[in-house]
Structure 1
Amino acid sequence: MNDRFLRAARKVPVDRTPVWFMRQAGRYDPEYHALKGRLSFKDIARLPEVAAEITALPVKKLGVDAAILYADIMTPVEGVGLSYDIVAGVGPVVERPIRSTEDVRALGAFDPAAVAGVFEAIRLVKRSLSVPLIGFAGGPFTLASYLIEGRPTRTYRETKRLMLRAPDVWTELMEALTAMTVRYLEAQLDAGADAVQLFDSWAGHLAPVDYERYALPYVRRIFQALAGRPAVKIYFPGVASGELLPLLRSLAIDVVGVDWRVPLAEANRRLDGRFALQGNYDPLWLEAPPDVRRAYARTVVDAGLQAPGFIFNLGHGLYPEAELEAVRDLVATVQEYSAERLAGRRVGEGSAAGGPPAVGGPSAGAGDGPERGEAR
């Protein structure tokens, strides 16, 4: 197996920087369209052979160093008896949003059999993969926001109203989602996943004091429950989450995902250098001219290599407008350039000429708009 991803996650030296992308199987690839056809995400969850093939596709097409399970962060809620749909152009839609104690108590205990296709897809794809497989789930706050709002939102008004006005209901819901997520991730590891990532895509919409009180305890509990597992654990606190990083130092994880709004060197400082870092290329820079996007990629690699343990990724997921050749070229650029840098370091050349590199890439504006769940 190409184990560069696992080695870098554990801060073990590698010959080149591993690279994979959030949403690396998606609409930018015509072959993905051919496989998916008219199937919905929920359809594919019941067709593990299709999910397995889509999961493996980016490894074949892009040459990435890890695969991530093709699913959606909303998938496990079916295992607690909650119905949802993914509406084109909108995202996850919950017909009956959760707003009361009665709504929370109507949720059942998580039944893995309700989403058995996910675990079968893992078993199937593991037979042919030559790279590690990443399983994943949504963070409790992010899941709660979809269940409470009923659909994607820019303001999180109903979520925060429930959190602040009905803290007992909030606590009961978050505990239910935490228990569900632990069992869901454990089942993915039992099926053969080599790593798991928790996507808390919208946690950056919380002030640090609110995140510490209303969200972080449940993230901590999930990773504590998985602490005895040898798999790599990754936490991505989502977009615009740089101010939350100092609060993550106590988590029982290996890797923190960083969005493009905070430089990697600053992220490492805020985390006290405790974790490997994953990120943080702005996905929209894939639309830049080739020489520009390659130069930016080299800058991100230079920044990442300043500390042990670095995995090249995006600061968020690939957009459907990305061009396949641009994504493939980005992978090659990172792999070739990082190999040169690391080879130079081994023979005593040290860092690149001209002093320390600029880090962190371009700045960006306010958080991303609403979208569907974090489907890969």
Structure 2
Amino acid sequence: MEQWQKDIKESIDDVETLEKMLGVPAEEVREIVEQYPMRITPHVFKLIREKGDSIWKQVVPTAEEDHPDAACDSEDPLHEEKDSPVPNLVHRYPDRVLLVITNQCPIYCRFCTRKRFVGSPGTLTPENLKQVVDYISAHTEIRDIILSGGDPLMVVDMLLERVLKALRAIPHLEIIRIGTRVPGTLPSRITENLCNMLKKYHPLYMNLHFNHPDEITPEVAKACGMLADAGIPLGSQTVLLEGVNDDPEVMKRLMQKLLSIRVKPYYIYQADLVKGTHHFRTRVEKGLKIISALRGHTSGMAVPHYVIDAPGGGGKVAILPQDTLLYLDDDQAIVKNYEEKTFKYSQPNVPKEVNKDAASFWVVPHDTD
């Protein structure tokens, strides 16, 4: 048994151990955990400093998960099951698909988009994999696949390689991506054997899930370094969470720390409308405030896209502060920077009949004098 598998066995995954280790009364959360499984790895347990801190809130179940939610909340708010042509595969965008290869995760985030099934038994079977390969092979417009779950790195190397090898045999499938929270919550899983196996299947990318700067530890930095040294470009995905990271300074420290361990900030997600997660959601204005606070106040490399994954399967929609482009016409653009100063940018001279893009933009009129 490898060290990471021992760490999983030593994780907190029952209410009696939770009560013993963290003082949470077992009877308060027993029904919650029966519905929505819990797992806290030894690594994450060590990061908890006090009750209710930013790490605690992400992993410790609470009775709030069973409170009546907003009417719009759903078990499957992104309509993934509706967009699933074969089991385990989601095909929403024209040229890319998402493949769920396991329901298991190193930890079970209390705000998870797939709260409805993560933690339940289930791993991609050879029969399922054949259906997936047959579907992708028949749809030559698909050039990009994201391995997700659960967490793809929770399966052993041999099974993960079986999936990667089958996908790499599809000629028109150019890019493979892996979405994972393992490096930040189970860093012992990132081994030399895993890295040596992964680098045989380039171009391979990884998006890593981090929500708070306290998650960036020396062990995590080492794990990310091993992946980066294997030639895997690393990006980050962060969920905006009430009381966890909904603060511009906290988010700035997280993004800066990610860059320092060779992870490029990619997305900040507005929390999805998932049943049982209402207490985690912030107003969209908070996300806009955070993006405005990042721009110009830290490296552009540290500024991710802020997105809402549109309810009902509409896909990701980038949300931007609306006051940076103040005016646009055939002659000039007027823009505002992070210091609230305005600047004029002269447009190149192009005959109006050639400038086909002019009617594509609408900007609130601005006094140019």
Q: Whose RCO is larger (CA < 8 A, sep 6+)? A: 1
Query: One fold, TM greater than 0.5?
Result: no
More helix by share: 1
Q: What TM-score bracket applies, with the shorter chain setting the length? A: 0.3 to 0.5
> Structure 2-normalised TM-score?
0.44
More strand by share: 2
Q: Which structure has the greater CA radius of gyration?
A: 2
